[in-house]
Amino acid sequence: MSAEPDNWDPDDLAPRHDVPRAGRSGFVLIEGRQVHYLEWGHRGLPPVLCLHGGRQTAYMFEGLGEALAAAHHLVAPDLPSHGDSDPALSEEWGRHVIAATIPPLCATFGFDRAVFVGASLGGITSITVAASHPELVAAIVLIDVGHRLEEDGVRKIMDFMGAHESFASLDEAAAEIAKYLPHRREVRRESLTRNLRRRKDGRWVWKHSFGRRYREQAARGGDDGDWRAVLAGLDRDAAGLACPVLVLRGSASDVLSNAGAEEVAALIPDARLATVSNAGHLAAGDNPESTVSLVRAFLDELRNGQSV
């Protein structure tokens, strides 16, 4: 049966919403903030909270959500100032501000204790939540992040985001992203509305505030040291983790080196380290099959070895 019968008038159709494969997309008000989220599975299944990286959106977990939906209840929110979520209520910015938004989100979805899957900034946030609210975090998957990151890799990300105030079209955006991610199998023009929104003047801008913040900082003559400030104290928090942790590194990552991945895995009391093959820093998007396989094996390990 066709999803859109022949007798439907296109003018009668509601605007198409970007619903993830095998999942749901929705909005919820939490402490006065609109939060956009994606969801797979249902309540009653083991909970998994997926936190995306900086400058990304919840859609980076579409492959993971689709693969695990039959056995787990996954929720992936757009973090503050990302995607279609409002900014945090605090005027300050940092890992503690973002982490403070997570406990009320867990309460909204009935997540008393969940496995956290965090990519980059989402991984930093996961460690921060586990340090302040260990009762909420049953285990953590860290995707290409640690307490020591590579200067050149971080600089490459910042330069790309700061270089493009806006794009004239989605085709232009796709071409620039393809240059930035030459190893990515495909940059699909139609999927870019997950990360870009159209301004009133017709140009497309990122669904995050990082590029604007970098440009404003540069205009004031400031440096880029705030990314280092985000990492301050993260080694102490990582060393104090009481839950099992899987550290994943993209095999070709220029943000988390082999040495950096080994360091953070050695720092965490109950950690294991694995590599996402044929992937860079954006491992979940570069090689979703390898990422899903490694995360699924870790969840199976948790299920067979302990209650989460």
Residue 307's pLDDT is what? Answer: 45
Residue 212 is predicted with a pLDDT of 67
Cα separation, 129 vs 227, in Å, equals 18
CA-to-CA distance for 291 and 104, rounded, in angstroms?
A: 28
Nearest to 267 by CA among 145, 120, 94: 145
pLDDT, tens digit, 9 for 90 and up, residues 151-172: 999 999 988 888 888 999 999 9
**pLDDT recorded at residue 222:** 61
CA dihedral sign of residues 23, 28, 31, 34: positive
pLDDT at 2: 47
- Residues shown for the chain: 308
For tokens 């973002």, name the residue. Answer: 98
Cα(88)–Cα(31) distance, rounded to whole angstroms?
10
Residue spans of the chain under pLDDT 70: 1-4, 14-15, 211-225, 306-308
CA distance 71 to 29: 27
- What CA–CA distance (Å, rounded) separates 14 from 274? 44
Alpha-carbon gap, residue 67 to 296, rounded angstroms: 9
Tens-digit pLDDT profile for residues 194-216: 999 999 999 999 998 776 666 66
**Helix/strand/coil for 48:** strand
pTM above 0.85, yes or no: yes
Helix (H) or strand (E) holding 137: strand 137-143
Q: Which residue has the tokens 């102490």?
A: 236
> What is the per-residue pLDDT for 305?
83
| pLDDT in the model for residue 215 | 61
| Rounded Cα distance, 103 and 61, in Å | 20
State residue 50's pLDDT score: 99
